[in-house]
Structure 1
Amino acid sequence: MIAESGMRGLRFLVALLVVAWLGACGGGDEEAGEDAAPTPTVYPSPNGPASTDWVIRQDYGGYQLTYDCTTRTALQYSYTLGFDDGTVARPTSFKLDPTLPEGCGQQTTANSYAAAIYPGYDRGHLVSSNHMDYDADYILRANYMTNIVPQVATFNRNVWLDAENVAECYRDIAPVQVYGGVVYSDPSNDWFLASHGIRTPEHFWKAILTTDPATGAPKAIAWYIPNVEGLTGLDPYLVSIDELERLVGTSLVGITASPAVKAMKPATSWPLPAGCNYN
């Protein structure tokens, strides 16, 4: 009989192969995120290998989410950005996601977290709406609550915005691949379970892959950032993709790259290029 530890490893390996296959088939036409109900796919759960969580990969056209229907939260997102020529205005309202398959849970309301019992949290975007401003449907979908989680307000408006701006600026130099997600590990700060049906993430992570236009060589940067008050910069939270995979799990990070790229860890966060328009 196979030991339980062996079974866990086998289940993880199967899930990893499924994730890799889906990543290779990722993307989709404009209608996929709005109308299609993707076939549910079992992924490793953040609650452990024995969890029965229902986790799917959902395509929104401009971006993709790995989404946990059981705990009502996205776990990972990914998308690719080219040169910024978008001018579509960000929607002023948030809405529940009409595209989830039947029976897949989501937050119970699109209301502000500020209206709940615990102050100081924003409806924080995983996929930046500013990155989707090249398409009216994509930027609308970025305001679905499946792309929103509780973010400490000062975190959302400072260091998380700084990380978003790195992708926003470097896309004008060469195409960028953006990956990111959330980590839940502490139930003591789950202020919004009663009001919204979602836990509060303890960490956010983001990775950006691109190429050096002068040499064509690949380059990568990643951060693993606590969702707390008082952060003043990105540099203390720099990690390599290798480190990120150890912290989050290789399958959930979902990045296919060479060992050399996964080992990259810049000494400082990439400076924003002069003249970058990140509005």
Structure 2
Amino acid sequence: MTVADRWARGLRLLGALGFAVLLGACGGGDEEPADAGTDTVYPAPNGPASTDRVIRQDYGGYQLTYDCTTHTALQYSYTLGFDNGTAARPTSFTLDPTLPAGCAQQNSASSYAGAIHPGYDRGHLVSSNHMDYNADYIQRANYMTNIVPQVATFNRNVWLDAENVAECYRDLAPVQVYGGVVYSDESNDWFLASHGIRTPEYFWKAIVTTDPATGAAKAIAWYIPNVEGLTALDPYLVSITELERLVGTDLVGITAPAAVKAMKPATSWPLPAGCNYT
């Protein structure tokens, strides 16, 4: 079976399962890039109506559920196609010019490392490398709406490992990526004064795709503490069902059969041989 045949079968199965496959977000397409800044106001997730303004913001290649009051994205989602992108990653971070009027964001695009507490990166939620198939999308991935304080060693190790799973499996079949952050402790909110954002306690990521050999749906997810010293992803494996209990079904935002949501591999998926991480 050719790569094209595997892709076609994967797309058909994802559609049959009811997943929101965003074909415009797949690499290699020649469609005109979507305008950034389309926003729909949603009620705040995980509970009754709130005074916080939570919006769904579309950046073309990815979407954010964003809290205008606390200046942070809560959830993101996007679909990846075969990796043939070469757009260069921007060398700087910028404030987001597309937020609607009255929706606040971080005070600064400067490094967290220069603030009062060392050891934190400007951590991407949506991986910049995943958006390299479109110059506009990769630029938007460096907006501060897509950035939160991330422990530097976490960012450069286990979080990168999770990003690489999506990066590699996208070459086998279309991949849907979901993720977000959880705030639960005020004691480490080092960057409220400098940037106006809290520090997440947990990051989560879920990947849904199809097995190229069988065409069956498969899923994997992690719930990872934003701390020093993590060396492996496996201790943080969860099913999507468990993730929904931890984060909230509405905020996780994955539509899939119960059997897919219940999947919890014994180990993180091994990276396919010959994967190009760039």
Which TM-score bucket, shorter chain as reference? Answer: 0.7 to 0.9
TM alignment of 1:153-232, pairs within 5 A? 153-232=152-231
Aligned equivalent of 1:145: 144
Cα deviation 1:95-133 (Å, max 9, x = unaligned): 000000001010000000001000000000000000000
- Aligned residues of 2:22 and 2:79 also touching (Cα < 8 A): no
Q: Is the CA contact (8 Å cut-off) linking 1:27 and 1:64 kept in structure 2? A: no
Which residue matches 2:42? 41
Q: Tell me the CA shift for residue 52 of structure 1.
A: 1.1
Q: Deviations over 1:21-60 (max 9, x none)?
A: xx96978762321xx4424222325xx5353110000000
Kindly indicate whether the alpha-carbon contact (under 8 Å) linking 2:44 and 2:50 is maintained by their aligned counterparts in 1: no
Relative contact order (alpha carbons < 8 A, sep ≥ 6): 1 or 2 greater? 2
Unaligned 5+ runs, structure 1: 1-22
2:267 alignment partner in structure 1: 268
Distance 2:52 2:77 in 1: 21
Unaligned runs of 5+ in 2: 1-18, 25-31
CA pair 227-93 structure 1, distance change in 2 beyond 3 A: same
Q: Deviations over 1:219-242 (max 9, x none)?
A: 000000000000010000000000
Contact 2:122/2:149 (<8 A) preserved: yes
* Alignment-derived partner of residue 30 in structure 1: 33
The root-mean-square deviation of aligned C-alpha atoms, in Å, is 1.5
1:238 aligns with 2:241: no
Is the 8 Å Cα contact of residues 209 and 220 (structure 1) preserved in structure 2? yes
Aligned position for 1:63: 62
TM norm structure 1: 0.88
Hey, what's the Cα distance between the residues in 2 that align with 1:243 and 1:25?
23
Map Cα deviations across residues 51-83 of structure 1 (whole Å, 9 max, x no partner). Answer: 311000000000000000010000000000010
With over 3 angstroms needed to count, the CA separation of the structure-2 counterparts of 1:27 and 1:214, relative to structure 1, is closer
For residues 170 and 138 of structure 2, the distance between their equivalents in structure 1, rounded to whole angstroms, comes to: 17
Q: Report sequence identity in percent.
A: 83
**Aligned partners of 2:34 and 2:246: how far apart in 1?**
34
Q: Does the CA-based 8 Å contact 1:55-1:69 persist in structure 2?
A: yes
Q: Which amino acid aligns with 2:269?
A: W
User: Aligned equivalents of 2:80 and 2:174: distance in 1?
Assistant: 6
Paired with 2:205 and 2:194, the residues of 1 have a C-alpha distance of 27
CA distance in 2, matches of 1:124, 1:244: 21
2-structure distance, mates of 1:43, 1:244: 18
**2 CA distance for matches of 1:25 and 1:273?**
23
TM-score with structure 2 setting the length: 0.88
For residues 156 and 178 of structure 1, what CA distance do their matches in structure 2 show?
17
